[in-house]
Structure 1
């Protein structure tokens, strides 16, 4: 049986992911959504998730912007996953990108960097050499990570934020738009400003998957 490719999520983010997948010459069978609002997206059929019957050959990518929801979908379904990389992204042949991750247009990922599963590298972001991004991380448009930065599971680096070299950012952290991070950030912290400062902490219970 031939492999069929599916996208999970028909939102605006799903539209961008679909565009990248199509630009990679991958034929998408359908987009699945729990509450479909339209019959098609970029001319791809949109079906209710409940109508889908799985087969071992099917390949998925989760097109949901929320890191915690993306994790829940992955852990609650026995899908196999592919990754989607925009043709205009510049990815070092010495970088590693794992399954389920989306790399959007004009992204730069340099040598020695490791990108985990189901991450989002959004338009125009830069991930310099020897960075490590754990699963479900989202690097927003035009954000920049200098070399040897580590980002824990589920953390989001906001649009236009900058992180200097050799910084460690914990899990499920939120870095606000335009923030300049110049020191390590603990788990669950919310950081804003220049220089970045912690203004509160996210609730750890919110990120647990039952």
Structure 2
């Protein structure tokens, strides 16, 4: 536990600040309910986050990420290496954006959704809650809650 205490001190100078970077969105949500409510925010020094964007508590923003103006990132999200979140995007809580995924302007992503590595989402698309977007998928139309989408163009292969 000593490592985590020192890590937490480095976040805010307090030992009671938490970040949960468990990749599984459902587990991250459950763990967040069991911890004290003082969650920090980790943003890698090479990330570019617009001063007009908002990022929720407990979120991790990795190296080379770009988050542009008026994007709204929820609580306990993971925005992984070199992902691009364009202007006016909305990501609800517990979303995971994998490395090199790109969300064009005005995309809405529902709670708990996972966007796979290298996926592309066209402007103004709405992705439902707890959906899974496969690696390299190109999303050209809205995605329902709980859907698993793969391919180019993205096709729903299963609904949970």
Instruction: State the TM-score, normalized to the length of structure 2.
Output: 0.92
1:184 pairs with one of 128, 142, 148: 142
CA offsets 1:56-82 (integer angstroms, 9 cap, x no match): 961111121110000000112333100
Contact persistence 1:127–1:146 (CA under 8 A): yes
Mind listing any 5+ residue stretches in structure 1 that lack a counterpart?
A: 8-17, 30-55, 203-210
- d(CA) in 2 for partners of 1:68, 1:88: 28
Measured on the aligned residues, the alpha-carbon RMSD in Å equals 2.3
- d(CA) in 1 for partners of 2:12, 2:107: 35
Q: CA deviation at 1:28?
A: 9.1
Contact persistence 1:6–1:58 (CA under 8 A): no
SS class of match (1:61): coil
Contact persistence 1:6–1:28 (CA under 8 A): no
- d(CA) in 2 for partners of 1:158, 1:147: 18
2:93 pairs with one of 114, 135, 142: 135
Query: Which residues in structure 2 correspond to 1:157-168 (within 5 Å)?
Result: 157-168=115-126
Instruction: State the TM-score, normalized to the length of structure 1.
Output: 0.71
CA offsets 1:112-162 (integer angstroms, 9 cap, x no match): 000000000000000000000000000000000000000000000000000
Contact persistence 2:11–2:40 (CA under 8 A): no
Q: Tell me the equivalent position of 1:153.
A: 111
Q: Is 1:110 aligned to 2:94, yes or no?
A: no
Query: Which residues in structure 2 correspond to 1:51-200 (within 5 Å)?
Result: 58-200=16-158
Q: Is 1:26 aligned to 2:10, yes or no?
A: yes
Contact persistence 2:11–2:42 (CA under 8 A): no
CA offsets 1:163-196 (integer angstroms, 9 cap, x no match): 0000000000000000000000000000000000
Which structure has the larger Rg over C-alpha atoms? 1
Mind listing any 5+ residue stretches in structure 2 that lack a counterpart?
A: none
- d(CA) in 1 for partners of 2:16, 2:98: 29
Q: 112-121 or 69-78, which moves further after superposition? A: 69-78
